[in-house]
Amino acid sequence: MAIASINPATGITLQVFDELSDAALEDCLAQAAARFDQYRHTSFEQRAHWLTLTAEVLEGNKQHYGQLITAEMGKPLAAAISEVEKSAWVCRFYADHGAEFLAHRAVLTDASHSFVCYQPLGPILAVMPWNFPFWQVFRFAAPALMAGNVGLLKHASNVPQCALAIEAIFANAGFPPGVFQTLLIGAARVANVVADDRIKAATLTGSEAAGASLAAACGHQIKKTVLELGGTDPFIVMPSADLEAAVSSAATARMLNNGQSCIAAKRFLIHEAIVEAFLQGLKHQLMALQVGDPMVETTTLGPLATPRIVRDLVDQVQACLHLGAIALLGGDVLSFKAQLPPALQGGNWFPPTILTQIPAGTPADHEEFFGPVALVFAVKDLDQAIQIANSTPLGLGASGWSQDPDEQQRLTQELDAGAVFINSLVKSDPRLPFGGIKRSGYGRELGQEGIHEFVNIKTVWIK
């Protein structure tokens, strides 16, 4: 099977790679197991040094890596460069704090000495998505390698150049061969990799279906998993909010990464007293986006990553419109693409879109819209906003906008989500744990909690 790198802005194939043979895959697994037996005994200081050098490699080549990200998945170049910088940040964060997070924790008991220690598990398989092809990988790899594990990356098949570049980055930073390897394989071979005794645990960021498949495979083998899946994140705005700030952040939160982010705001639940002003402000913001070649520095909205994502989004939007929703902006892919330069018309384009007056019973009730589509609902009060926000099977992040302390308290306590941000868009931060509940997954990445996911939390009792 061939793995192709295709420019989503033009539809042109950039490069084609052969999938690993069974023999080559076996070599990778054998090398990972052998290297772990050595790497686990390296000091925290040595691992931190290598992670710091990794950050330097990223920062020193951020323009190159940014261009690679943009070429393979289509985000605007400025956003791609920022992603590389954030990947360097997470490496530095765990280099600076990993030893502290993994230090023995003494516990007073009736033993002479008792404590909890944190030991690495072994080779960890990471199944990672294309939408943040560097950040998603480094936020797994930095804590995993700092803890003494070794990593095996099965990246999304549409970003093979990014996958190979990441392996090279760790090698260039001085990590020993086999500590981090990229596996160019298709999704159908993941279950067999998971079944291998040398793989000790797995993590996945992606769709619900992909997460369920990996979890089932790991469950059969009784292996630990961490899943970060989709989101239908609510963005709630009350009359007490700073409306101008809320509108500006709403546009950013929905269009970030060309609308292709699990934690992007997707459902805008706006108090009926301010919904018209919100809609007009949001429309103005989205009409000001610069759509075009994502390699051009002034572009603020690029293409979607694959033709299938466009087709899925078209189907969802058309279903909403058919049932009575109104497109305040966008929604017509064909006329939108016709306005693009000829060189871009073969790409995966979708217009910035606002749907409003959405009736019950549409895909907007429970499905994730993975693209530049804002779903706006008018609500009569905070009770209704929270009820609608919690009515979906997903629970990744939520954003609430209010200057009222009582409303803020209710939003933080009553929203069913792995993270609630007040007067800010939802974002990931190396210093804070990140993950979801319900069908958005389980386990946590980042923060102290993230580095503890793939270790043996061992109790030691001495008397």
Residues annotated as part of the active site: 228, 262
Q: In this structure, how many other beta carbons lie within 10 angstroms of the beta carbon of residue 112?
A: 8
> Which among 144, 160, 165, 161 has a CA at the least distance from the CA of 50?
144
Please say whether the beta carbons of 39 and 179 come within 8 A: yes
